[in-house]
Structure 1
Amino acid sequence: MILWFVLVGLGVWTVVFRYRRRRMYELASLIPGPNEELPVIGIAHKLIGNDEDIMSALKNFSYTSIKTDGMIRGWLNHILYFVLVDPYDMEVVLKTCLEKDDLHRFIQKVVGFGSIFAPVSIWRRRRKITVPAFSPKIVENFVQVFSQQSQVLKQRLEKCCNIGVFSLWPFVSTYTLDSVCETAMGVKINAQSNPASPFLTSMNSLLSLVCQRIFHLWLQPDWIYRMFPRSQDHERYCKMMHDFTDTVIKTKREELKTETNNKSEADNEYDLGNYRLKTFLDHLITLSGGSKGFTNVELREEVLTLTIAGTDTSAHAIGYTFKLLAKYPEIQEKVFDELYDIYGDSDRPLIKEDLTKMKYLERVVKESLRLFPPVPFIIRKIIEETKLPSGRVLPAGSGVVISIWGAHRDPKYWGPNAEEFDPDRFLPERLNLVHPCSYIPFSYGPRNCVGYQYALMSIKTALSTVLRSYKVIADREPSAHPRIRTKLAIMMKDVDEYEVALEKRQSPEVNIK
């Protein structure tokens, strides 16, 4: 009798649940789904496996979306998602559907409500403050830091010359972490000298744990997750990062207070403090209103978000670019020729004026970001029913996966050679984007990445400094279509962690074109 009541109750609940969502089911039925979709669980079985399996599944969904006029739908158990690659539809979603998907709650447990991951109600205020902190005049002041840290990177790589294949990841990730920590917080953690830095170890481990929770549904409920040992690891790594950042913020506040109290009349009249290199933390404190602005927790959220995003995205962009240049030595030689034109036989450090002269290197970086965007997917929540330019309608309560990977490889907008590595496609006379959302390595719309100029400066500085001194070597790619195994751990990473070999360059006596 009890079992009968349970079954009847479950049946009634199911009917009511589906009735309330009838509009969602109606609209979902109008969009094609993948062949692999199963009853009840939908596509959940395709997202079981390691990080490489998950990335492979999402790539396949993206390619299927390209073939089905830019969109497919897929049920993740009872949750409806759409995978979108059509740039016209993407623009509407990125401009009007500003709320982050619920899956971001797992990264929010690490960084809180930093601007990238914050709900719209919090994001709007934060954005008004963070955008001025990334103005070109402020960002240009950090080139010296990038230059100094890239020299350390070059020196560390010297011991790797002529030893065979090795992983670039420990080198480029510590370069970006040192650069970000110094520019964001004014702290030199010297991760390049100590690759086992607790901060870097904690950050990488946390990102991996977060990715596991996002794609493994059984790990999502907090009460279940707490039963696993990895939950304790998560808390330990999180505490380490929070404690470190909190200490830096408290120290910075005391430093600014002391500096203000000790300012002389001349300082106040001429604002001599501006001649000191100010970090993003300095600017966030000042722009938010000083002691009446951001709280220490809000500052921690913004600084941690910047540190994680700035470290990982730039490091992977550098890694992919090195690997592509190793696979295509003729393109690498063109980069070196350009650098030789700028520096000749000089070993002087890079200055900001040099960056504007690196036209070909910039095209190489842009093409690398097209084929291998470190952030290959953006997920947004649909709060209200949204009609798209294609005529399709996204139901309220669903989620949208903006596939940057798919949009960047869609032959409809990039031509039949969309999968090929061709930096010259970014020549002004050749680049003719039908729609700006066809190329969005730093997102698009109101919630785009405010630090894209900062990232490009850091990336170009590291690449140019290393390539002036070393030749990067790997097995030559037999075709123009580069094949690099990738995995997803929040960012898209190279499975073998950017394995290459290095040879020390001999400066040519004559630069032959």
Structure 2
Amino acid sequence: MLIVSLLILVILLWVALFKYGRRRMYELAAKVTAPKSERPLIGVAHTFLGDTEDIMTRLQGYSYEAMSSNGGMLRGWLGHILYLFTVDANDIEVVLKTHMEKDDLHRFVQKTIGYGGIFAPVQIWRPRRKVMVPMFSPKILENFVDVFSLQSEILSRKLEARAGKGSFSIWTHLSSYTLDSVCETTLGIKLKAQDDPKTPFLFYLNKLLDLITQRIFHLWLQPDWMFKLFPQFVEHEECVRVLHEFTDQVIKKKREELKIEKIARPEADSYCQLQDYKNKSFLDLLILLSGGERGYSDEELREEVLTLIIAGTDTSAVGIGNTLKLLAKYPGVQEKLYLELRHVFGDSDRPLVKDDLPKLKYLERVIKETLRLFPPVPFIIRKVLTEMKLPSGHVLPIGSGVVVSIWGVHRHPKYWGPDADKFDPDRFLPERFQLSNPCAYMPFSNGPRNCLGYQYALMSMKTAVARILRSYRVVGDEESSPNPQMRVKLNIMMKAVDNYSICLEKRDR
């Protein structure tokens, strides 16, 4: 009995000391609006027990609660861990510029693909960012349009078998298109996933993203020792093995090719200049710009390559899918877009070339409005390492995490007016698009750690949507409301629950 009493006393003492050491956090958190679902001890942890659709619905609800709260901020305790949920563009701008360390929840991504630029700690991210920046220059990216165009032609031919045959999920077609495009531009290889949608790489990639999402939101899967007790662990390790083996083989082959080229071209040391490397793949550029044989190790290359593949494949596919879903709901917008395509391409069935993209201005507005209402990455989480007062007056306590709701700020009436939930591509007309803060629209983040691949993704999306609409009409239930409804889930990125079920009809020429 004495031992039990001592044990209880020790536990109570530890809890008291733990809370005393965090008294400043509790003091500052108490000044932030609490969500309606908050409970003692567990906070809001109980609200994330459902599937990925339930999780996304809950986070959308918190975004709307934050809009109406004091200073656009909401608190959320996950047990003893504090998160501050913000939809205020001015606060977001300060957070993204000054708090660049990713939150600890990113460790579940880091455990699978390593320290790629998006997920790396600051001390690793900073020097790697300098290597990546020149890779995404316009002169290099425009050389990839031919790849997008060719792959979109293949996509259009593959869809012909589904046209006029009712509803079907276009997700596999879209993700195969983006994976083929990304593998050719990133790795310099032709994967031909569109010829074989069941390619293992695509299957295990989608499975891995689902498993990572489960670990992030299900507390019992977070400790490594506990995760190993669940069947998901075996699936997780198999996914990692397949993805790592594939990229390691490509990197090894690329190293050998560059060695042969260096022997054949002794002057190759100078081909890091723009005029030499603009036609190469991202993997070529990573090797060359990091210092060649003295640059990135094979492991570092794998980390960066996998990050590019995951980001490039899902982001573009989700953006294309959401655009098609909205065009089905709003046939008037689709017809206006088709008229623009006819104006640029006429009756010709020629492939798209890079000079066509700047002419497709309405298409760009449609895609940008789609990205506003349905951003592929709806939330960003940053770690607070130093206490800071924000423009709203809220103070961020050390040890907390800041959840930047891109979904929320994109639909905030403060920045987009009372019709913020309405689908209106013309709000991106130059004369109308005037924001008080650049962080009011940030589908690919903002600040020093923004996504370098923004223009790459836009090129891929515009090319695919243009090709599909030139050949097919997207049909579906017309939206009776100007505010589009779509059931979405959170699998690292935000995706349609129905895996982008649409109907296509062949256009008569």
Q: Same fold (TM over 0.5)?
A: yes
Match of 1:210 in 2: 212
User: Displacement, 1:184?
Assistant: 0.1
Does residue 354 of structure 2 align to residue 352 of structure 1?
Answer: yes
TM-fit CA distance, 1:275 = 8.2
CA distance in 2, matches of 1:196, 1:448: 32
1:305 aligned residue: 307
Name the CA distance, whole Å, in 2 between partners of 1:97 and 1:369: 25
Match of 1:151 among 150, 153, 162: 153
Q: CA deviation at 1:506?
A: 1.4
1:284 aligned partner: 286
The Cα of 1:387 is off from its aligned counterpart by 1.0
CA contact (8 A) 1:207 1:489 kept: yes
Q: How far does residue 5 in structure 1 lie from its aligned partner after superposition?
A: 0.9
Change (3 A) 1:81 1:275: closer
For 1:433 and 1:241, how far apart are their aligned partners in 2? 41
Q: Which residue of the partner structure matches residue 187 of structure 2? A: 185
Contact (CA 8 Å) 2:140, 2:279: kept in 1 or not? no
Separation (CA, whole Å) in 2 of partners of 1:240 and 1:328? 41
User: How far apart are residue 274 of structure 1 and its match?
Assistant: 3.1
Give deviations 1:232-288, integer Å, cap 9, x for gaps. Answer: 110111011001001101110110110111127799899999388310000111110
Give the Cα separation in 1 of the matches to 2:349 and 2:403. Answer: 46
Taking a change above 3 Å as real, the CA distance of residues 418 and 266 of structure 1, as seen in their structure-2 partners, is closer
Does 2:115 correspond to 1:132? no
Q: Give the Cα separation in 2 of the matches to 1:276 and 1:321.
A: 30
Report the counterpart of residue 511 of structure 1 in structure 2. Answer: none
The CA distance in 2 between the partners of 1:237 and 1:448, in whole Å, is 28
Q: Does 1:383 align with 2:392?
A: no
What does the per-residue CA deviation read over 1:412-441, in whole Å, with 9 as the maximum and x for residues that have no partner? 110000000000000001111111000000
- What amino acid does structure 1 have at the position aligned with 2:43? G
Instruction: Give per-residue Cα distances to partners, 1:20-48, cap 9 Å, x unaligned.
Output: 00000000001111011001100001111
Q: Deviations over 1:317-354 (max 9, x none)?
A: 00000000011001000110000001111010000000
Q: Distance in 2 between matches of 1:266 and 1:393?
A: 54
CA contact 2:272–2:288 (8 Å) conserved in 1: no
- Name which of 413, 416, 441 aligns with 1:414: 416
CA distance in 1, matches of 2:421, 2:268: 60
Show CA shifts across 1:82-136 (max 9, x none): 0010000000000000000000000111110000000001000100001111111
> Aligned AA for 1:49?
G
Change (3 A) 1:487 1:209: same
Q: Taking structure 1 as the reference length, what is the TM-score of the superposition? A: 0.97
Structure 1 unaligned runs (5+)? 508-513
Q: 2:165 aligns with which of 163, 166, 173?
A: 163
Which letter maps to 1:480?
Answer: P
SS in 1 for 2:46: helix
Q: What's the counterpart of residue 451 of structure 1?
A: 453
State percent identity of aligned pairs: 61
Aligned equivalents of 1:270, 1:134: Cα separation in 2: 14
Partner of 1:378, secondary structure, is strand
The separation in 1 between residues aligned to 2:273 and 2:429, in whole angstroms, is 43
Contact 2:139 2:278 (C-alpha < 8 Å) held by counterparts = no
Counterpart mapping for 1:336-485 below 5 A: 336-485=338-487
State the Cα deviation string for residues 443-472 of structure 1 (Å, max 9, x = none). 000000001010000000000011111001
Report the AA paired with residue 45 of structure 2.
A
1:203, CA displacement in angstroms? 0.5
- TM-score, length-scaled by structure 2: 0.98
Is 1:32 matched with 2:27?
no
CA contact (8 A) 2:277 2:285 kept: no
Q: Is the 8 A contact 1:106 1:210 kept in 2?
A: yes
Query: What is the 5 A alignment of 1:323-334?
Result: 323-334=325-336
CA separation of 1:91 and 1:258: change in aligned 2, threshold 3 A: same
Determine the structure 1 residue equivalent to 2:85. 83
* Structure 2 match to 1:70: 72
Q: For the Cα contact (< 8 Å) 1:160–1:502, is it kept in 2?
A: yes
SS of equivalent to 1:348: coil
- The DSSP-based 3-state class of the residue aligned with 1:159 is helix
Counterpart of 1:373, as a letter, is: P
SS at match of 1:367: helix
- Superposed CA deviations along residues 121-175 of structure 1, whole A, max 9, x for unmatched, are 1000100001111111111110000000000000000001110000110110100
Inter-partner Cα distance in structure 2 for 1:143 and 1:286: 22
Q: What is the alpha-carbon distance in structure 2 between the residues aligned to residue 399 and residue 263 of structure 1? A: 51
Rounded to whole Å, the distance in 1 between the matches of 2:34 and 2:55 is 18
Name the CA distance, whole Å, in 1 between partners of 2:35 and 2:269. Answer: 65
- The aligned counterpart of 2:493 is 491
Q: Structure 1 pair 276/420, CA: closer, same or farther in 2 (3 Å)?
A: closer
Residue of structure 2 in register with 1:226 after alignment = 228
Q: Is the 8 A contact 1:363 1:424 kept in 2?
A: yes
Q: What is the CA distance between 1:187 and its match in structure 2?
A: 1.2
- Helix, strand or coil for the counterpart of 1:472? strand
Moved over 6 A (4+): 264-273
- Paired residues of 1:85 and 1:402 also in contact (CA < 8 A): yes
Q: 8 Å contact 2:100–2:382 — kept in the other structure?
A: yes
Q: Secondary structure at the match of 1:18?
A: helix
**SS of the residue 1:448 aligns to:** coil
- Paired residues in the alignment total 507
Choose from 235, 251, 274 the match for 1:249.
Answer: 251
Correspondence for 1:57: 58
SS in 1 for 2:303: helix
The separation in 2 between residues aligned to 1:307 and 1:319, in whole angstroms, is: 18
| Residue pair 1:84, 1:90 contacting (<8 A) in 2 also | yes
- Structure 2: runs of 5+ lacking an equivalent: none
Which residue does 2:42 correspond to in 1?
A: 41
> Residues of 2 paired with 1:380 and 1:272: CA distance?
35
- Equivalent-residue separation in structure 1 for 2:274 and 2:456 (angstroms): 25
For 1:455 and 1:272, how far apart are their aligned partners in 2? 22
Equivalent-residue separation in structure 1 for 2:227 and 2:436 (angstroms): 46
What value does the CA root-mean-square deviation take over the aligned residues? 1.6
Matched residue, 1:335: 337
Q: Could you say if the C-alpha distance between residues 276 and 10 of structure 1 is closer, same or farther in structure 2, counting changes exceeding 3 Å?
A: closer
CA 1:199–1:404: 2 relative to 1, 3 Å: same
Change (3 A) 1:26 1:469: same
- Cα shift at 1:70: 0.8
Quote the Cα distance in structure 1 between the aligned partners of 2:131 and 2:501. 40
2:295 equivalent to 1:293: yes
1:267 touches 1:273 (CA, 8 Å); kept in 2?
A: no
Amino acid at match of 1:213: R
